[in-house]
């Protein structure tokens, strides 16, 4: 790796080629291993954008906006496509386990990399607790003799062990978890479309074509403004698309992996999000009570006549939960690893064992995940609710930072290594500024929503605290550096 010159604040040293947060593809024990194969990266890229929120939360969005929820998904999907294109541009040129946090460090300053890195870590630690609890509920329903807290513990321990073995074992688990999600949604879309047109043998659905999109109050039954309400309800189900850019740093060919992931994000969102929600809306009237009661996918499968639809979907949701938990633990640990390598976290986080695994970073993330799970069982409506709300808008903060970072990083890449600019953001800088405007509008609109207001305000509070800590640390670092320079004997 070549050394990188940054536009960071004075006193911040550029990353050196032997820094531990840079991927080491030589297989030495002092750096991350290139243990992810192309098939792992491909499936992480395809399945990483599909979380349990798509299966569980889409019913509430349909009830709030009707068929117009398709436009909500399309708007958020467009935003994610643009953000991923920007991130892909930077990640292809400078693969790093810290991804956007490392780029923000270089382009915007030490405070930005520190702040967004720790906020992102905090977000995924809370997600660990949410997903562990969701998986435990499903497993307790199957085996009621084991209490829910025990299932949460078992799930966390198993996936922690997987991540500790090697990055390859994480990739292998994620390959199969994501594969099940992809096959399930692909089959759902294909079978659903056959039923929509009345050509599915043995289907209980009357096959009304596209009539349900307009036959119950029109396409905008709740008014055009419901599109924005729908945006608030679906935006967080897209979080996770950026995981592939962190994982690419531990692959054999990071640049190629990032290029493929960036180029495929459009069809992934079109098929898995828009395609599956479109099928639900064409199989059932949007105000069918079963969509909210049973869940949109279960209701759609029931309308076709698929036996045991609820249990089938529970298996798929459990797979999505385990996938999200697995990737969440991986992502949190790699962000902690990168922060440790840059001196923004304990240096122990940046050490790897002989298998190339950042053991301390993984275990520290798991410990906080276990603490969050405990809060969820002990104080679900107070402490844990605060954690949920205070991390709720972090996804949007991350996307904003990616946009501002790319605005400055483009010039840095062109000056230092233009040949590495193999992925380019379209219509730069106009689409970048347009994306910033879109994300900012969503954040402002959340302040007008009763549910979103608390998330934005608490997330801003936590972000302000993290930024303050970063600025204080940087001020101390500068003062120490200046005092050291003053004590040096003059020539």
Whether residue 71 is predicted with pLDDT greater than 80 in this model: the reply is yes
Give residue 481's pLDDT: 76
Say what the pLDDT of residue 490 is: 58
Q: Calculate ∠ Cα 23-128-101, nearest 5°.
A: 35
Region 250-266: what's the mean pLDDT? 79
Which pLDDT band holds residue 21 (cuts at 50, 70, 90)? very low
- Find the range with the poorest average confidence among 157-166, 250-259, 264-273, 417-426: 250-259
Confidence band of 5 (pLDDT split at 50, 70, 90) = very low
- Could you please report the per-residue DSSP string of 355-412? TS--HHHHHHHHHHHHHHHHHHHHSTTTHHHHHHHHHTTHHHHHHHHHHHHHHHHHHH
Residues in the chain: 491
CA 288 to chain centroid: 31
**pTM of the predicted structure, to 2 decimals:** 0.85
pLDDT of residue 313: 85
Residue 305 host element (H or E): none
Q: What is the mean pLDDT of residues 437-464?
A: 89
Which residues have a Cβ under 8 Å from the Cβ of 289 and sit 6 or more positions away?
none
For residue 48, the model assigns a pLDDT of 62
142-191 pLDDT, tens digit each:
999 988 888 988 998 988 998 888 888 888 888 888 888 888 889 999 99
Range from 2-16, 100-114, 394-408 carrying the lowest mean pLDDT: 2-16
> In the beta sheet, which residues pair with residue 36?
251
Which residue's structure tokens are 């994501």? 178
Give the confidence band of 49 by pLDDT, cuts at 50, 70, 90. Answer: low
* 19-40 mean pLDDT: 54
CA distances from residue 255 to 38, 42, 423 in whole angstroms, order as listed: 11, 13, 9
For residue 4, the model assigns a pLDDT of 35
Given a cut of 60, whether residue 129 has pLDDT beyond it is: yes
What is the mean predicted confidence (pLDDT) over 459-484?
A: 87
Q: Is 141 helix (H, G, I), strand (E, B) or coil?
A: helix
426 pLDDT exceeds 60? Answer: yes
Asked if residues 359 and 353 have their Cβ atoms less than 8 Å apart, the reply is yes
Answer yes or no: is pLDDT of 225 > 90.
no
CB 463 within 8 A of CB 119: yes
Confidence band (pLDDT; 50, 70, 90) for 393? confident
272, two tokens: 């898995």
The pLDDT of residue 203 is above 70: yes
Q: Taking 50 as the threshold, does the pLDDT of residue 16 lie above it?
A: no
Q: What is the mean pLDDT of the chain?
A: 84
* pLDDT grade for 241, boundaries at 50, 70 and 90: confident
Of the candidates 408, 350, 428, 407, the residue with the CA atom closest to the CA atom of residue 6:
408
End-to-end C-alpha distance for the chain, whole angstroms:
35
């Amino acid at each position: 790796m070549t050394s990188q010159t940054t536009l960071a604040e004075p006193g911040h040293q550029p990353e050196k080629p032997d820094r531990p947060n840079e991927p080491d593809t030589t297989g030495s024990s002092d750096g991350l291993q290139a243990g992810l194969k192309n098939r792992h990266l491909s499936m992480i890229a395809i399945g990483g954008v599909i979380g349990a929120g798509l299966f569980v939360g889409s019913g509430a969005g349909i009830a709030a906006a009707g068929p117009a929820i398709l436009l909500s998904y399309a708007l958020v999907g467009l935003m994610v496509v643009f953000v991923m294109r920007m991130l892909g541009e930077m990640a292809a040129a400078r693969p790093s386990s810290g991804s956007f946090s490392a780029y923000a460090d270089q382009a915007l300053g030490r405070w930005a990399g520190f702040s967004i890195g720790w906020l992102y870590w905090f977000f995924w630690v809370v997600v660990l607790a949410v997903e562990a609890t969701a998986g435990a509920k499903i497993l307790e329903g199957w085996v009621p003799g084991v209490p829910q807290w025990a299932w949460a513990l078992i799930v966390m321990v198993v996936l922690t062990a997987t991540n500790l073995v090697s990055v390859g074992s994480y990739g292998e688990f994620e390959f199969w978890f994501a594969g099940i999600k992809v096959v399930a949604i692909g089959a759902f879309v294909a079978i659903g479309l056959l039923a929509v047109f009345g050509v599915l043998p043995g289907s209980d659905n009357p096959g009304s074509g596209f009539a349900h999109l307009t036959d119950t109050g029109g396409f905008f039954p709740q008014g055009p403004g419901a599109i924005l309400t729908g945006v608030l309800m679906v935006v967080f189900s897209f979080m996770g698309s950026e995981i592939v850019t962190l994982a690419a740093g531990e692959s054999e060919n990071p640049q190629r992996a990032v290029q493929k992931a960036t180029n495929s994000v459009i069809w992934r969102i079109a098929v898995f999000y828009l395609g599956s929600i479109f099928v639900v809306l064409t199989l059932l009237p949007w105000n069918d009570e079963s969509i909210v009661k049973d869940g949109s996918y279960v209701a759609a499968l029931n309308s076709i006549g698929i036996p045991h639809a609820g249990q089938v979907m529970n298996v798929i949701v459990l797979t999505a939960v385990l996938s999200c938990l697995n990737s969440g633990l991986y992502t949190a640990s790699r962000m902690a690893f990168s922060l440790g390598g840059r001196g923004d976290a304990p240096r122990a986080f940046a050490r790897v064992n002989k298998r190339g695994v950042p053991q301390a970073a993984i275990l520290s993330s798991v410990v906080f995940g276990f603490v969050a799970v405990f809060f969820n069982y002990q104080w679900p409506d107070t402490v844990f609710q605060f954690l949920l709300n205070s991390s709720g808008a972090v996804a949007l903060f991350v996307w904003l930072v990616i946009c501002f970072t790319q605005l400055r990083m483009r010039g840095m890449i062109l000056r230092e290594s233009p040949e590495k600019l193999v992925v380019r953001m379209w219509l730069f800088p106009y689409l970048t500024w347009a994306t910033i405007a879109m994300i900012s509008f969503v954040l402002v609109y959340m302040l007008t929503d009763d549910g979103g207001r608390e998330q934005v305000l608490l997330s801003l509070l936590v972000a302000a605290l993290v930024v303050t800590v970063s600025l204080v640390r940087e001020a101390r670092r500068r003062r120490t550096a200046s005092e050291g320079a003053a004590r040096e004997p003059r020539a």
